[in-house]
Amino acid sequence: MGQEKKLALITGAGRGIGKVIALQLAKSGADIALTDLNPELEDLKSELNKLGSQCLDFQVDVTDPEAIDKMVSEVVGSQGRIDILVNNAGITQDNLMMRMKAEQWSKVIDVNLNGVFHITRAVLKTMMKQRSGKIISISSVVGFSGNPGQVNYSSTKAALVGFTKSLAREVGSRGITVNAVAPGFIDTAMTQALNETQQEEILRQIPLKRMGMPEDIAHAVDFLASEKADYITGTVLHVNGGMY
């Protein structure tokens, strides 16, 4: 990152991959706007402050467009800009297709895809005025490979690729880059929910023979958010230990 302090807004930053992305971007010199469903972000805020990062936090549901617009106005009001948006918030509600309830389908689409639409549209106005910005969405290996029991989740993660490629073409002339990171299986609460047999099966498919760590994803996001990636847009960076 360059000399000027950047402002990074990260969704779902309270734990897992989002939390480590916040810490990594702070280490690279950014101020951070944390958003999460869970309001208990005090410990993370003080860690970020120790890294020299100014930190704002918001309890926002990414499926609530009004709350998002209010939050984005507050961030722009206090910081004057938004340089980096990381669309990280995401959920799973797994079930085999034959058993999947309409609510499980809709909820996952609402958080993982509609949420990205709402917040990106809200932030884009500011980035267009600035004529600069980096938008990075967290997709998934299963959006490419498919995964039984995850037709809802993998549909949203594949959709983020179309979202990324189309938006990159729309806003490139304004100096805004749009990319995605597609993690493999990363050691967080989301994958700790898998049973031992499922975890062993996954490990068998990973040439590097380990689950990824949130830091592996945070490093990829940090790169795409940096000036080193200024000429990269509309791409997906796969971070999966070689499994896809």
Question: Do 127 and 80 touch, CB atoms closer than 8 A?
Answer: no
Q: Give me the phi and psi of 105, to 5 degrees please.
A: -60, -55
Among the listed ranges 43-51, 68-76, 85-93, 167-175, the one in contact with ligand NAP (CB under 6 A) is 85-93
Among the listed ranges 82-90, 117-125, 162-170, 201-209, the one in contact with ligand NAP (CB under 6 A) is 82-90
Question: For this structure, is 153 an active site residue?
Answer: yes
3-state secondary structure of 11: strand
Nearer to ligand NAP by C-beta: 93 or 132?
93
- The CB-side HSE value for 134 (13 A sphere, CA atoms) comes to 27
> Interface with ligand NAP includes 58 (CB under 6 A)?
no
Nearer to ligand NAP by C-beta: 126 or 240?
240
Q: What stretch of H or E contains 78?
A: helix 65-79
What's the closest the beta carbon of residue 15 comes to ligand NAP, in angstroms?
5
Residue type, 15: R
> Interface with ligand NAP includes 18 (CB under 6 A)?
yes
Nearer to ligand NAP by C-beta: 17 or 127?
17
Beta strand spans in 21-106 (E): 31-36, 55-59, 84-87
> Interface with ligand NAP includes 191 (CB under 6 A)?
yes
Reference 182, options 120, 135, 136; nearest CA is: 136
> Interface with ligand NAP includes 38 (CB under 6 A)?
yes
Among the listed ranges 69-77, 120-128, 182-190, 230-238, the one in contact with ligand NAP (CB under 6 A) is 182-190
Residues 125-154 that bind ligand NAP (CB under 6 A): 138, 140
> Interface with ligand NAP includes 17 (CB under 6 A)?
yes
Nearer to ligand NAP by C-beta: 51 or 213?
213
Q: What stretch of H or E contains 165?
A: helix 151-171
- Count of positions on this chain that bind ligand NAP (CB under 6 A): 27
Among 72, 90, 164, 229, binds ligand NAP (CB under 6 A): 90
Reference 83, options 133, 30, 135, 21; nearest CA is: 133
Among the listed residues 153, 164, 224, 233, the single catalytic one is 153
What CA–CA distances, in Å, run from 113 to 47, 70, 103, 164, 227?
30, 20, 15, 12, 27
Structure tokens at 243: 């499994």
Nearer to ligand NAP by C-beta: 1 or 138?
138
What CA–CA distances, in Å, run from 240 to 48, 140, 145, 146, 192?
27, 9, 12, 14, 17
> Interface with ligand NAP includes 111 (CB under 6 A)?
yes
Binding site for ligand NAP (CB under 6 A): 11-12, 14-18, 36-38, 61-63, 88-91, 111, 138, 140, 183, 185-186, 188-191
User: What residues are labeled active site?
Assistant: 153
